[in-house]
Amino acid sequence: MQLRTRFAPSPTGLLHVGNAYSALLCRQWAQENGAELLLRIEDIDHTRCRPQFIESILEDLAWLGIEWPQPVRIQSRHLEDYRSAIHRLRELGVIYPCFCTRKSIRQEMERMALAPHAGDVAGLYPGICRDLSEGERAKRMEKYPFAWRLDIGKALAKVELPLIWREADGTAQAALIDHDEVIGRKDISFSYHLSVVVDDAIQGITDIIRGEDLKAATGIHRLLQRLLELPEPTYHHHRLLKTTSGERLAKRNSATTLASLRGMGIAPEQLRGFLLNQQQPVWPFAEQDNNNNREKIVRLLGNS
């Protein structure tokens, strides 16, 4: 069987060193296992994704030494695939329209907090729209925007249990799903969870290499794969590149971008050497780029 993995960035900003670390782990695994490495652009979130970031991702990855076959799958060009998966889940009777707003959910949670054991429901969707009648649903669907939620009870009743996924270290991980997750957003009628499992199946991905921040989402992915009768990939959740104070690098805290490293004259092999040769994945520079940082980066990466 042809082994295949993918790197699947979202074009919400410039690629940073944390993204580069993940991309390099995908590349390394592909090289060591004679696997194909695909690139996929995950841009269904039209509120945060920008076309110019797709261009910069392609440039940055090429600079980093990542190669990928054409054509690159760009999710926003395949919305029909995700809509038909929603359709299938509707036919199975495992999703329901949810008309709640953040505010109405919070109010219901507060109301429930009056009950004993209220602590148990913190952070969960309290099922407000789960048991609406068909007639009420139809009426509201004509008038109000709605999300699609998975009815976890009904969904689990449809699939073979136990629901587990295989992690690359050989462990079987139990899929723990504690509430009716949104799998269709109000604005676009599907979600990351749905598009990612549909695409992994369409692209024949056998091994998913991604950050451990996505481990908690794997249970829901596994459930969707079973419901939609899709193949079961193996998951390799890797540690995240962190700052010395233990914070994960992220776009929102101005992690060093690949574009800024290029601007400093860092060569791709220096960055590859630095990121792949550490025991603990740490980026030991303050998060904000400044001149002091720049000197340190050039010195340290120059020696790697």
Residue whose CB is less far from ligand GLU, 8 or 301 = 8
Say whether residue 210 binds ligand GLU (CB under 6 A). Answer: yes
Q: Smallest distance, Å, CB 277 to ligand GLU?
A: 24
* 3, 45, 150, 238, 241 from 19: Cα distances, Å: 22, 18, 30, 12, 9
Say whether residue 257 binds ligand GLU (CB under 6 A). Answer: no
Residue of the chain from 4, 5, 8, 148 that contacts ligand GLU (CB under 6 A):
8
CA pair distance 284, 147, nearest whole angstrom? 41
Q: Smallest distance, Å, CB 118 to ligand GLU?
A: 33
Q: Which stretch binds ligand GLU (CB under 6 A): 7-15, 47-55, 87-95, 260-268?
A: 7-15
Rounded to the nearest 10 degrees, how much is the dihedral formed by the CA atoms of 96, 97, 102, 107?
-70
CA pair distance 274, 280, nearest whole angstrom? 11
Residue whose CB is less far from ligand GLU, 98 or 208 = 208
Q: Which stretch binds ligand GLU (CB under 6 A): 4-12, 72-80, 134-142, 231-239?
A: 4-12
Q: Can you name the residues that pair with 185 across neighbouring β-strands?
A: none
CA pair distance 223, 156, nearest whole angstrom? 8
Q: Which of residues 179-198 bind ligand GLU (CB under 6 A)?
A: 196
Say whether residue 214 binds ligand GLU (CB under 6 A). Answer: yes
Residues binding ligand GLU: number (CB under 6 A) = 7
Residue whose CB is less far from ligand GLU, 41 or 129 = 41
Q: Which stretch binds ligand GLU (CB under 6 A): 6-14, 93-101, 119-127, 240-248?
A: 6-14
Residue of the chain from 16, 25, 42, 85 that contacts ligand GLU (CB under 6 A):
42
CA angle centred on 43, ends 38 and 47, rounded to 5° = 165
Say whether residue 27 binds ligand GLU (CB under 6 A). Answer: no
Residue whose CB is less far from ligand GLU, 47 or 291 = 47
Q: Smallest distance, Å, CB 131 to ligand GLU?
A: 32
Residue whose CB is less far from ligand GLU, 8 or 54 = 8
Kindly report the number of other CB atoms within 10 A of residue 91's CB atom: 9
CA pair distance 5, 27, nearest whole angstrom? 9
Q: Which stretch binds ligand GLU (CB under 6 A): 8-16, 62-70, 135-143, 178-186?
A: 8-16
Say whether residue 9 binds ligand GLU (CB under 6 A). Answer: yes
Amino acid at 87: H
Say whether residue 207 binds ligand GLU (CB under 6 A). Answer: no
Q: Which stretches of the chain bind ligand GLU, using CB under 6 A?
A: 8-10, 42, 196, 210, 214
